[in-house]
Amino acid sequence: MTHHMSREFAELVKAVGDCKSKQEEDKIMLKEVAVLRVRLSEKGAASRMKELCVRMMYCEMLGHPVDFGYIHAVNMTQHSSLVEKKVGYLAACLFLEEGSELLILLVNTLQRDLKSTNPWEVCAALSAVTRLIGPETIPAVVGQVRECCGHSSEHVRKKAVMALHRFLQKAPETVPDHMEYFRRALCDRDPSVMSSAICVLHDIARKHPPSYHNMIPSLVSIIKQVIEHRLPREFDYHRTPAPWVQIRLLKLLAILGKANQKGSEEMYEVLKDVMKRADVGTSIGFGVMYECVRTITRIYPHAALLEEAAASTSRFITSDNHNLRYIGVDALSAIVTVNPKYAAEHQMVVIDCLEDG
């Protein structure tokens, strides 16, 4: 696609880029708001609406609301062209608050797009739903979103899971059957759908961990899969497999293993493995190790694992890198909370590094 910007817009971008002060920027934006008021009511507005919406986004972003223009963004979501539709939804998400009257106008379009045969249209609607939905509008779309959880496109399934989670946050009574969908998503053949399920389950489980203790074996199996490189290579980041999925799983295991001896015992072996495999000298590797240390300090204590955690922590604290030292201090305080003995054993290392300053 050739990216086309009108001269007026190109000049705006240049002016904003060149300006040297907030006052200068405000002057430029006040003028732009006035220009947009005119442009939006002109005859040719509809054919330039995508650009006009992006210019409205600019105004809002720089502190100058354009309430008079919101309706145009909402209307643009009805456009048959995908790019116009997506920009309309994006602008609506940025402009509208939950409870806005204009949301009612969006509902029909959302319902239509959620049923579209074009998965990208469904995705656009799901993104908007997740952002804009409120208790009054959930009932109009919840049935269709449930169906999207079983869509043939993994992009749709992933977003549908997140939308359903949002419904749970806003109006739990609309999705009493939510666990059925999240458990299924956890076992989805697509790693991104599984990833979305893990985020959701982490958020849900923290409210009442005992109800989810029985998930520990599945989660251990998933994290094992990840660290053994059984996901496609595209999920690697700097040679670490799906690190944010690992981190999220570690957080979830921490919640489920807390004060749960039997459950914790199911985790010890894989935690050792996660720690070992994350130790590759990259920043993200250290991030995974740090989360592993935190998990080890939160679950039912295991002496050998706490030793490993303390050893990793020593390395963070003695690093040249300020960020690693920061997390090292936090990790150390977590370990000391479990049992001061473990800190005492590494006391000399800590004292040495503090003396070196």
Partner 1 sequence: GRGEVGGQSPEEMIKFLILVNKQGQTRLARYYEDRSGMSAEERSTQEADIVRKCLMRGEQQCSFLEFMGHKVIYRRYASLFFIVGVDDDENEIGVLEFIHCLVETLDKHFENVCELDIMSQLEKAHFVVDEMLINGFIVETNKTNILEPIRFLDKAT
**Residue 162 within binding range of partner 1, rule CB under 8 A:** yes
**Shorter beta-carbon distance to partner 1: residue 234 or 355:** 234
What does the block give as tokens for 35? 């220009």
**Residue 189 within binding range of partner 1, rule CB under 8 A:** no
Tell me how many residues contact partner 1 (CB under 8 A): 78
Q: Tell me how far apart the alpha carbons of residues 136 and 254 are, in angstroms, rounded to a whole number.
A: 36
Sites for partner 1 among residues 265-304 (CB under 8 A): 283-284, 286-288, 290-291, 294
Sites for partner 1 among residues 207-226 (CB under 8 A): 207
**Residue 251 within binding range of partner 1, rule CB under 8 A:** yes
What does the block give as tokens for 153? 């496109």
Considering the complex, what minimum distance in angstroms separates the CB of residue 11 from partner 1?
Answer: 12
Q: Tell me how far apart the alpha carbons of residues 98 and 86 are, in angstroms, rounded to a whole number.
A: 19
36, 52, 90, 148: which one binds partner 1 (CB under 8 A): 90
* 98 touches 134 (CB < 8 A): yes
Closest CA relative to residue 119, chosen from 87, 82, 77: 82
Q: Tell me how far apart the alpha carbons of residues 266 and 292 are, in angstroms, rounded to a whole number.
A: 15
Considering the complex, what minimum distance in angstroms separates the CB of residue 25 from partner 1?
Answer: 6
**Residue 167 within binding range of partner 1, rule CB under 8 A:** no
* 53 touches 75 (CB < 8 A): no
337, 344, 347, 351: which one binds partner 1 (CB under 8 A): 337
**Residue 31 within binding range of partner 1, rule CB under 8 A:** no
- Could you tell me where the DSSP H helices lie in the chain? 7-18, 22-41, 49-61, 70-76, 82-95, 102-114, 119-132, 138-148, 154-170, 178-186, 191-205, 216-227, 243-257, 261-265, 268-278, 283-298, 303-317, 322-338, 340-345, 347-356
CA 73 to chain centroid:
25
6, 8, 11, 22: which one binds partner 1 (CB under 8 A): 22
Select the span of 41-49, 103-111, 173-181, 330-338 touching partner 1 (CB under 8 A): 330-338
Sites for partner 1 among residues 94-113 (CB under 8 A): 97-98
How far CA 24 is from CA of 12, 16, 66, in Å, comes to 12, 9, 19
7, 20, 43, 189: which one binds partner 1 (CB under 8 A): 20
Select the span of 126-134, 140-148, 220-228, 343-351 touching partner 1 (CB under 8 A): 126-134
Q: Tell me how far apart the alpha carbons of residues 353 and 356 are, in angstroms, rounded to a whole number.
A: 5
The contact pattern for partner 1, residues 57-76, with x = CB under 8 A and - = no contact, is xx-xxxxxx-----------
**Shorter beta-carbon distance to partner 1: residue 43 or 86:** 86
Considering the complex, what minimum distance in angstroms separates the CB of residue 27 from partner 1?
Answer: 14
Burial of 170 (0-12, 13-18, 19+ CB in 10 A): middle
Considering the complex, what minimum distance in angstroms separates the CB of residue 218 from partner 1?
Answer: 19
Sites for partner 1 among residues 129-158 (CB under 8 A): 130-131, 155, 158
